[in-house]
Homo-oligomer: A and B are copies of this chain.
Amino acid sequence: MQKLINRQWRLASRPVGEIKESDFEYREEPIPSPKDGEILVRNIYLSLDPTHRIWMSDRPQYMPPIGIGEVMRGLVIGVVEDSKNLKFQPGDLVSGALGWQNYAIASSGNLIKLPQPLAVPLTAFMGPLSFIGCTAYFGLLDIGKPQAGETVVVSAASGAVGSLVGQIAKIKGCRVVGITGSEEKCQWLLEELGFDAAINYKTADLIPALAKFCPHGIDVYFENVGGAILDAVLTQVNLNARIPLCGLISTYNAEEAVPGPYNFSQILMKRVLVQGFIVNDYVSQWDVAFRDIGQWLQEGKIKYTQEIVPGLENAPQAILKLFDGRKMGKLIIQISDEP
């Protein structure tokens, strides 16, 4: 730890196609001092997420894009080092969008204080007990509205969100089928997480595989991917199926316009609901999700896996793993040591 230097990754250029390391610029700056009302946070964990690819582009999106030359946006867990705000004390553990850097200045409105002493590993607040958990919870339960006995399909099923979606659907009594990208991931879904079936989209013929593993059709499809998988699912949906639209990762690197699903008309024929959502829409209800997910964690009903890459310097390389199918569960950069 170089205490006197704030190391940062800034956005150097908007990616064309896949993200390249040259799209990031390394910068060293003095560690800022908090002014009245502000808090200085030492960043510990940085969350790397598919949505970074959206923020790095300037296509129409749900938040302002990251500006060229700005510090990369990112969710962080950190510890308060200095505070000129009565609500926060040095030693408090916090989370917030503090960026790809060692240190950040925050205002109290941008920080969530984590409960101390910790009853779970600190990184749980970058997984099931973070926006990740809320994304799975509200997308599945509020939009998907799965009923016991229904069939729930989730894509990117071994990802941070998808793996939670499947487990919550199991808790709700559903048949759960995961779509993922390797035999190893399929095994994990089946043996560790209790999915009823898993499909490797890289080797399976999707439509017959879905027909086989969803013999009563698909009632809820939690969509993280888009493209050919959505098209295949639309051939197997039941009347009044629900499709929470959480992500479209298969399209994020596209350089040319990507067509919507060829089976779009099935949304009409089967009276399907498609609802886009962003977890921020539910911020006033997050505590409800954290209460339930916290209980399921304690009861051992929810498992999660994380890949923790040490060193902020490795973030530009590590983020590529989100798009090439190499990682399983949540991808996290460890910027500094836990207190």
Q: A61 within 8 Å of B by Cβ?
A: yes
Q: A309 within 8 Å of B by Cβ?
A: no
How close is A331's CB to chain B, nearest CB, in angstroms? 21
Chain B residues, CB < 8 A from A261: 259-260, 264
Given the known A-B contacts A60-B266, A262-B257, are A274 and B274 also in contact in the complex, defined by CB atoms under 8 Å? yes
Within 8 A of B (CB), among A244-279: 245-248, 251, 257-278
Given the known A-B contacts A269-B276, A274-B274, A276-B269, are A264 and B61 also in contact in the complex, defined by CB atoms under 8 Å? no
The 3 closest A-B pairs by CB, nearest first: A260-B260, A259-B259, A260-B264
Task: Summarize A's interface: helix, strand, loop or mixed.
Answer: loop
* Best-buried of A226, A247, A251, A264 by chain B (most CB within 10 Å): A264
Chain B residues, CB < 8 A from A263: 260
Cβ of A275 and Cβ of B276 under 8 Å apart?
no
Cβ of A251 and Cβ of B265 under 8 Å apart?
yes
Chain B residues, CB < 8 A from A247: 268
Chain B residues, CB < 8 A from A305: none
Chain B residues, CB < 8 A from A258: 262, 264-265
Cβ of B262 and Cβ of A260 under 8 Å apart?
yes
Residue of B nearest to A258 (CB): B262
Q: A281 within 8 Å of B by Cβ?
A: yes
**Which residues on A are within 8 Å of B, measured CB to CB?**
54, 59-62, 226, 235, 245-248, 251, 257-278, 281
Cβ of B281 and Cβ of A271 under 8 Å apart?
yes
Cβ of B265 and Cβ of A248 under 8 Å apart?
yes
Given the known A-B contacts A260-B260, A262-B257, A262-B258, are A62 and B248 also in contact in the complex, defined by CB atoms under 8 Å? no
Chain B residues, CB < 8 A from A266: 60
Chain B residues, CB < 8 A from A277: 268, 271
How close is A78's CB to chain B, nearest CB, in angstroms? 29
Other A-B contacts than A245-B268, A247-B268, 9 sampled, CB-CB below 8 A, are A62-B270, A226-B264, A258-B262, A259-B260, A268-B276, A271-B275, A271-B277, A273-B273, A273-B276
Residue of B nearest to A231 (CB): B260
How close is A47's CB to chain B, nearest CB, in angstroms? 19
How close is A239's CB to chain B, nearest CB, in angstroms? 8
